[in-house]
């Protein structure tokens, strides 16, 4: 029941905030403000419901060191996406128009939109689903299961494809769960998710997860083979993005193993009912 209570509490903030952000998308300043408010409120509600249902301090969203961890994650995410775009551009799949500059105010609005999306999705998928399920079935199976669910969620996007959702599951669902397993806090995966999305939409102005063209700092377009550019779904469906996500998943899981953060699959003692089996760490 704690999983249900935690998920519903954060999902309610995500839904209400998402409706508000969607309603003011034509106004970049209101989008920025409402997006940031939604992100902050989601963290507050997550911390509150964890305290109520688990009777512990929510150390995974502790304020101490939060800024540094967010920044570290954002740098990793933005750097990864910049590397993907550089490879796409090298094969003539990404083009910045002659005048170059896109929309500064559009980029500001995307900061709020991406902040709300990154925070609520990480709290829901890594803070609630992955963390709670991991206690019962272990790190590896939980990573696989929640990563697939995260990918399937993107099938509801306007220009979604089965391959695009599969790519998201691999490069984001698995990687972000592995990031949480390695760090045991939510700030780094939140920062990574935000940095990736911000670079995609607010800087390079490409389609983000099949949600249509973004109006960011650069006036640019993609063209060419979908295997390189990701097609209508955007560069996240590019093989370059998948390769980057796989590489970082391996790195994070290696760190998790080295730090002793891998939770083994729960094993029941002989004659012990499933409901009372304990987790061995």
Establish if 101 belongs to a structural domain: yes
Establish if 169 belongs to a structural domain: yes
| Whether pLDDT at 278 is above 70 | no
Lowest average pLDDT, out of 42-51, 96-105, 223-232, goes to 96-105
Question: Quick check: helix, strand or coil at residue 221?
Answer: strand
Identify the pLDDT of residue 268.
55
CA 103 remoteness from chain centre:
24
Identify the pLDDT of residue 276.
41
For residue 216, the number of C-alpha atoms closer than 13 Å in the C-beta half-sphere is: 24
Strand boundaries in 74-148, DSSP class E: 94-101
Percent of the chain at pLDDT exceeding 90? 80
Model confidence over 4-30: pLDDT tens digits? 999 999 999 999 999 998 888 889 999
Establish if 26 belongs to a structural domain: no
| Whether pLDDT at 211 is above 90 | no
The pTM assigned to this predicted structure is 0.92
DSSP string for residues in 86-98? HHHHHTT-EEEEE
From the number of C-beta atoms within 10 Å of its C-beta (0-12, 13-18, 19+), residue 50 rates as buried
Identify the pLDDT of residue 243.
96
Identify the pLDDT of residue 97.
86
For residues 238-265, give the mean pLDDT: 96
Measured CA to CA, the distance from residue 252 to residue 192 in angstroms comes to 12
First to last CA, the chain: 22
| Whether pLDDT at 270 is above 50 | no
Identify the pLDDT of residue 279.
37
| Residue 54, C-beta contacts closer than 8 angstroms, at least 6 positions apart | 2
Establish if 38 belongs to a structural domain: no
Establish if 109 belongs to a structural domain: yes
Q: Between 32 and 1, whose confidence is greater? A: 32
Identify the pLDDT of residue 126.
97
Query: How far, in Å, are 82, 186, 199 from residue 14 at the CA level?
Result: 28, 17, 22
Establish if 106 belongs to a structural domain: yes
Establish if 122 belongs to a structural domain: yes
Establish if 200 belongs to a structural domain: yes
Length of the chain in terms of residues written:
281
Model confidence over 135-161: pLDDT tens digits? 999 999 999 999 999 999 999 888 889
Query: How far, in Å, are 44, 61, 177, 230 from residue 249 at the CA level?
Result: 28, 22, 8, 20
- pLDDT band with cut points at 50, 70 and 90 for residue 267: low
State both tokens at 122: 């990480």
| Whether pLDDT at 273 is above 70 | no
Measured CA to CA, the distance from residue 52 to residue 49 in angstroms comes to 5
Supply the range of the domain harboring residue 191: 65-265
Domain count, the chain: 1
Identify the pLDDT of residue 80.
97
State both tokens at 59: 């150390």
User: Chain-wide mean pLDDT for the chain?
Assistant: 91
State both tokens at 77: 């995410």
Measured CA to CA, the distance from residue 144 to residue 37 in angstroms comes to 31
């Amino acid at each position: 029941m704690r999983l249900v209570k935690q998920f519903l509490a954060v999902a309610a903030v995500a839904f209400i905030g998402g409706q508000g952000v969607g309603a003011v998308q034509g106004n970049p300043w209101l989008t920025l403000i409402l997006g940031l408010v939604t992100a902050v409120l989601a963290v507050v509600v997550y911390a509150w419901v964890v305290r109520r249902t688990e009777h512990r301090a929510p150390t995974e969203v502790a304020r101490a060191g939060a800024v540094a961890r967010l920044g570290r994650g954002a740098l990793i995410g933005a750097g990864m996406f910049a590397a993907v775009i550089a490879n796409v551009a090298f094969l003539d799949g990404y083009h910045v128009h002659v005048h170059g500059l896109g929309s500064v105010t559009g980029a500001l609005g995307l900061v709020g939109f991406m902040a709300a999306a990154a925070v609520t999705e990480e709290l829901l998928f890594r803070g609630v689903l992955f963390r709670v399920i991991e206690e019962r079935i272990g790190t590896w199976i939980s990573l696989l299961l929640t990563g697939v669910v995260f990918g399937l969620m993107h099938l509801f996007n306007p220009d979604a494809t089965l391959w695009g959702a599969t790519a998201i599951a691999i490069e984001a669902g698995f990687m972000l769960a592995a990031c949480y397993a390695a760090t045991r806090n939510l700030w780094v995966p939140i920062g990574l998710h935000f940095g990736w999305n911000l670079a995609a939409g607010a800087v390079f102005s490409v389609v983000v997860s099949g949600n249509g063209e973004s109006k960011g700092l650069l006036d640019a377009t993609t063209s060419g083979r979908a295997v390189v550019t990701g097609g209508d779904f955007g560069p996240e469906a590019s093989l370059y993005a998948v390769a980057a996500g796989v590489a970082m998943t391996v790195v994070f899981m290696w760190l998790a193993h080295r730090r002793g953060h891998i939770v083994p699959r729960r094993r029941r003692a002989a004659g012990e009912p499933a409901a009372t089996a304990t987790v061995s760490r």
